[in-house]
Amino acid sequence: MQETIQPPLDAAQLAEAFRQFSEASAQLTQAYSGLERQVERLNERLTGLLAALPAGVVLLDASGKVEQVNAAGRAMLQADLVGTDWSAACAQLLRPSDTTAEFETGPEDAARRLALSQTAEDSAGGRIVLLHDVTEAWLMRRNAARNERLAAMGEMVAGLAHQLRTPLAAALLYAGNLAEPTLSPADRVRCTERTLERLRHLERLIRDMLSFARGEALGSEDFDVCELVAELEHTIEPVAARRAVAFSSECRCAGLRLAGHRKDIAGALTNLLENALQAVGEGGSVRLLADSDAERVRFSVEDNGRGIDAALQARLFEPFFTTRADGTGLGLAIARGVARAHGGEISLRSTPGEGSTFVLDLPLPAREELA
């Protein structure tokens, strides 16, 4: 095929082409200048918006470094973190609290509490971290919980006096018998054992009373869920064997870790397990199961005992309410207090004649919050 050769442009055509090119270039320059002005105005508005927000805003790039922090964020963190690694800054400035997704900052005697959340990665890999100062709300929650406990303690003073008077009177009676010179050795041993039994009951009642009065988890640690279940199994299995109760445990939370006061959580579960052993009696069965979803861990204590009447279920968690002659009536109240102090709750499913299931539900820590 023969190529078509275009004739060269004359001077007039070249001049016209250059004129059109100049006009297009001028239009593009004008449009670009307009876009620059719009971007500048948007940046000014965004900067003004970030400065006016009461919440702290931290902008992170794809590598996790801080690109920008608004005025509220700098005030909350008491630092200008631009250019620093966010994870390292969090480890230095923020301390985990006893509430999921809330952290403490500043000196221990004047700490502020911050709630932290962050967006998913954008198309460029960046993230936005939001900080909210919840110190006042936290203080109000803590004071409300304390006032609620004080009110409950005020209501149970009369009950406590009765609870203390009965075993104390029995202990004094048995101790008085020990002073009798004519008491036989066998009777002396029997009186001594019963005196100690009543004194131990008083000690348990006072210990439970103090635990209920404290009412909140002290400190926090990170621990493995299945290790806690194994520890409870070693504690409860001998007790169940002595009472001829079949006990089993299962943990479906391999690798999961909880954040909280391990001793208090273990104590709450021990209370639930001991209540279950009491409910089933000889020949019964008790099972401890730990399972989870993406956000929570559930400890279920199941028994095949006689169940609990609906009329009694609503009162089970009241301080000093008990259906056992040797019970203090504080075990379930303490367990619920521990659950709520960790952001969780205890629920009950029971049908008379078909057994009962108590479920201690606790939130998992948000692993990505400080990432």
Q: What pLDDT, on a 0 to 100 scale, did the predictor assign at position 268?
A: 85
Establish if 247 belongs to a structural domain: yes
Compute and round to an integer the Cα radius of gyration of the chain.
34
Establish if 34 belongs to a structural domain: no
| 329 phi/psi in degrees, rounded to 5 | 75, 15
Judge if 349 and 269 occupy the same domain: yes
- pLDDT tens-digit series, residues 32-47: 777 777 777 776 666 6
Judge if 93 and 152 occupy the same domain: no
Establish if 242 belongs to a structural domain: yes
Average pLDDT over residues 172-196: 82
Judge if 339 and 263 occupy the same domain: yes
The DSSP code sequence of 23-57 is: HHHHHHHHHHHHHHHHHHHHHHHHHHHHHH-SSEE
Judge if 183 and 235 occupy the same domain: no
Q: What pLDDT, on a 0 to 100 scale, did the predictor assign at position 323?
A: 58
Task: Look at residue 160 and tell me whether its pLDDT is greater than 80.
Answer: no
Q: Which long-range CB contacts under 8 A does 33-39 form with residues at least 24 apart?
A: none
CA distance 87 to 84: 9
- Please name the residues in contact with 115: beta carbons below 8 A apart, sequence gap of 6 or more: 101, 102, 131, 132, 134
Task: Please give the share of the chain, as a percent, with pLDDT higher than 70.
Answer: 80
Identify the band that residue 369 occupies on the pLDDT scale cut at 50, 70 and 90.
Answer: very low
Establish if 11 belongs to a structural domain: no
DSSP β-bridge partners for residue 332:
none
Judge if 201 and 240 occupy the same domain: no
Q: Which domain holds residue 110?
A: 51-133
CA distance 292 to 306: 28
Identify the band that residue 366 occupies on the pLDDT scale cut at 50, 70 and 90.
Answer: low
Judge if 255 and 369 occupy the same domain: yes
Establish if 2 belongs to a structural domain: no
Q: What pLDDT, on a 0 to 100 scale, did the predictor assign at position 290?
A: 93
Q: Which tokens is 179 given?
A: 């002073």
Judge if 195 and 70 occupy the same domain: no
- Please name the residues in contact with 306: beta carbons below 8 A apart, sequence gap of 6 or more: 279, 352, 353, 355
* Average pLDDT score, the chain: 79
Judge if 229 and 319 occupy the same domain: yes
Longest dimension (CA), the chain: 143
Choosing from 214, 238, 259, the residue where a domain stops is: 214
Is pTM beyond 0.75? Reply is: no
Average pLDDT over residues 83-91: 89
CA distance 344 to 284: 29
Judge if 230 and 357 occupy the same domain: yes
Identify the band that residue 52 occupies on the pLDDT scale cut at 50, 70 and 90.
Answer: low
Establish if 234 belongs to a structural domain: yes
Choosing from 214, 231, 266, the residue where a domain stops is: 214
CA distance 149 to 160: 15
Choosing from 133, 165, 190, the residue where a domain stops is: 133
- pLDDT tens-digit series, residues 288-319: 999 988 888 999 999 998 888 777 777 777 66
Higher pLDDT, 357 or 194: 357
State the CATH number of the domain containing residue 70.
3.30.450.20
Q: What pLDDT, on a 0 to 100 scale, did the predictor assign at position 249?
A: 92
Judge if 236 and 370 occupy the same domain: yes
Task: Look at residue 217 and tell me whether its pLDDT is greater than 50.
Answer: no
